[in-house]
Every structure is written in C-alpha cells, then in structure tokens.
Chains A and B, each alone.
Chain A
Amino acid sequence: MNMLIEDAALETTSVACGAEEIHAQARLLEYMQGRYVAFAPHVTVGLVHQPQLISVPGAPNYALGLIPWDGRYIPLIDLASLLHTFPQGEIPAVDHVLVLAFQRAPGEPLEHGAVCAPYLVKTVEVTDSRQRALPDDSHLWPLTAISCFEFLGAAVPVLDTALVFGQTYL
C-alpha cells in the first residue's frame, strides 16, 4: 500500500522565530529511536507498507535488497545500519519504508530508492536560526549530509539522497 507523505504526516511542527526569518519545510524521519534525519520535501515520494523484500547476495549489510515500486525495483537501505553499525546476521523486519527520489547530477534521469521508516514521518518547519553543526555520532555525516538543524534539542542532518543511494559505504 502506498501512502502520500501528506496523508501520513500527523503534525507539522513550527519553530518559533523572528518575523524576518525564512521558513522552509523538511521531512523528518526518526530512523531509529531518538535519532533523526531530514529530507527536502521534494525528494520524498511516498510511504510503502511492508513491501516485498528481495535480498541481494553481496550487497552491503545496510542495503537490505530490492523492493518493487511503481513498476520497477528500487534499493532499500537501513539508515541505522548505514550510519551507526554494520550488523551481521538476520535482516531486520521491514514495516514502512520511505521512497525517495535522487538525481546524480543536474539533467540526469530521476532515480528512486527507499529507506526504512520505523517511526512516523513528520513535516517540520525550519529556519536559518536553527542551523547547527553536524553531530559526531557517525563518520558518515560529512559524506551524506548537506546541512543540519536543531529540532527539539537534537541535531538533525539533512541528507542528500544522491549521496545516500549513489554509492556504497564499505
């Protein structure tokens, strides 16, 4: 079952700001308990519930496999495994996944990938005054994030989907 982000988001959170601050929206994903990343709204395509997962021999441990979507097959990545651990052993059960679009370079064809979405995806408003440095709990933030903002006291990296899906991190 595919769901639009607009249907799934239960709330939009506004951060108090001054009158001259510029607002922007971001899709907030809690990819593991208490840890967040964000994506630009235009790259978030939809949520899929319990997609069929096809494991791929030789794929990196954090890349769970292929899932069918919109008549094609796209890669599914577990951000918790990518950013923090590379676990061996059983593949975690997949519930919801967030489908994302990416473009390797301007003018290149649009491609798609998905990340595990174990918790609800929210839409939040962000302002420049909330910018902060990347957290230091993963060596991959500088390689995958284009900015970072503060949300409810936590640092939220904004991921570049082309960097997430366009290469492997071994």
Chain B
Amino acid sequence: MPTETMRGNFVVLRAGPLHLILPQAEVGAAEHIEGGLRPSGRPGVFGHGEGSLACEVVAPSERLEALEAFPTDRFVLTRLGTGATQFAWNEMKVLLDVSLDVRTLPEALRGAGGPIEGFVDLQGTIAFRTDAQRIVSYMALGEG
C-alpha cells in the first residue's frame, strides 16, 4: 500500500470510534462545553454560550454527519480553519514534531467528495488524515 511521510505538528480529534488527524494550524484552541446547549432550529446544530460568546456547535458522527442527538460525552470544542462553528469531540490530542507514515486510502473506499485523504496507524489506532476545509465542505456547513 502506497505511503508518504508527513512531518510537523498535528492534532488528533476523536468522535466516538472515529479518529481524525489534521495539521495543528487548522485546529483552533480547545474549549470546553459550559452550561447547556440549546436547539438552533436546524437539525444537528446546537446553540452554545451567550452574547458575544454565543456560537453554533456540531457533534460529528463516526461518518462525519451532524448528530441530531447531542452525545453526552462530548466535552471538547474546537473550531476548524477559519469557520465560526465549534465541533464537539470526545478527545483532542496534540502531536508535536512527529513524522508519520500516511497510507493511501484504498480506491474502493474513496467516495466522490469524501473528506479522507489517507490514514495513519497510531500504535494500533487508525486516524484518518483530512483537513479543516474537507470536513466543513463534507458536512455541508456552508462555511470555509
């Protein structure tokens, strides 16, 4: 299976059984959910915070679809790229100054417009390589 090496600083984000690995520069600082979430009127999108701190929150499923029922174990919030939407994760882990072998996703698994470029094996855990733009576009959040 073809591989390439990627080096630098990366962030691993976990949504249930799904692990994603993105360049650190594309992931905003981690915040935590404080207080409750409120419906926004849009399926899978929740309101969080008040006043100038108000934002929209999305919890991705293992297939990167916005969950309509917010999981109770998602506490970590990050923005992706330049977008304003916060994404809710189970975990966020930073990998500094690493060199990782990225394996090409098999042809049979590459759907049209799919967000996954490849994957890395992090000591037995598969993390899918992607970037902020791909995630936002794939989840059709309408922001870049």
Would A55 and B107 count as touching, CB distance under 8 A? no
Count of chain A residues with a beta carbon within 8 Å of a chain B beta carbon: 23
Partner of B107, one of A58, A168, A170: A168
Beta-carbon contacts of A140-170 to B below 8 Å, as 1s and 0s?
A: 0000000000000000000000001111101
Partner of A56, one of B107, B109, B121, B138: B109
Which residue from chain A places its CB closest to the CB of B109 in the assembled complex? A59
A66 pairs with B109, CB closer than 8 A: yes
Residues of A within 8 A of B109 (CB): 56, 59-60, 63, 65-66, 75
CB contact between B103 and one of A73, A77, A164, A167 (< 8 Å): that residue: A73
**B111 contacts across to A, CB distance below 8 A:** 58-60, 63, 168, 170
Query: Is B69 an interface residue, CB under 8 A from the partner?
Result: no
CB distance from A77 to the nearest CB of B (A): 6
Answer whether residue A139 sits at the interface, using C-beta atoms and an 8 A cutoff.
no
B32 interface hit (Cβ, 8 Å): no
Distance from A47 Cβ to chain B, minimum over Cβ atoms (Å):
19
0 or 1 for each of B98-119: is its CB under 8 Å from A? (1 = yes): 0000010111111111111001
Within 8 A of A (CB), among B58-112: 62-64, 103, 105-112
B116 partner, pick from A56, A166, A168, beta carbons under 8 A: A56
Q: Name B1's closest neighbour in chain A (CB-CB).
A: A72
The chain A residue with its CB closest to the CB of B108 is A75
| Given A165-B107, A166-B107, A167-B107: A59 in contact with B112 (beta carbons within 8 A) | no
* A57 located at the interface, meaning its Cβ lies under 8 Å from any Cβ of chain B in the complex: yes
The residues of B that contact A58 with a CB separation of less than 8 Å are: 63-64, 110-111, 113-116, 138
Interface membership of A134, Cβ < 8 A: no
Residue A54 CB within 8 A of the other chain: yes
Taken together as a complex, chains A and B put the C-alpha atoms of A77 and B110 apart, in Å, by 12
Task: Give, as a whole number of angstroms, the nearest-CB distance from B133 to chain A.
Answer: 14
A15 to chain B, nearest CB (A): 32
A25 → chain B, closest Cβ, in Å? 26
Residue from B105, B109, B114 with most neighbouring chain A CB atoms (10 Å): B109
Question: Is B18 at the interface (CB under 8 A from chain A)?
Answer: yes
**CB closest chain-B residue, reference A61:** B111
CA distance A66 to B19 in the complex (A): 13
Check B108 against A57 for contact (C-beta < 8 Å).
no
Contacts of A165 in B (CB 8 A): 106-108
10 A–B contact pairs at CB < 8 A? A57-B18, A58-B115, A59-B111, A60-B111, A73-B119, A113-B106, A167-B107, A168-B111, A168-B112, A170-B111
Contact surface of B with A, Cβ cutoff 8 Å: 1, 17-18, 62-64, 103, 105-116, 119, 121, 126, 128, 138
For the complex of A and B, list the 10 residue pairs with the smallest distance between their C-beta atoms, beginning with the closest. A58-B114, A57-B64, A75-B108, A75-B106, A59-B109, A58-B111, A165-B108, A60-B111, A56-B109, A75-B109
Interface residue ranges, A against B (CB under 8 Å) = 54-60, 63, 65-66, 72-75, 77, 111, 113, 164-168, 170
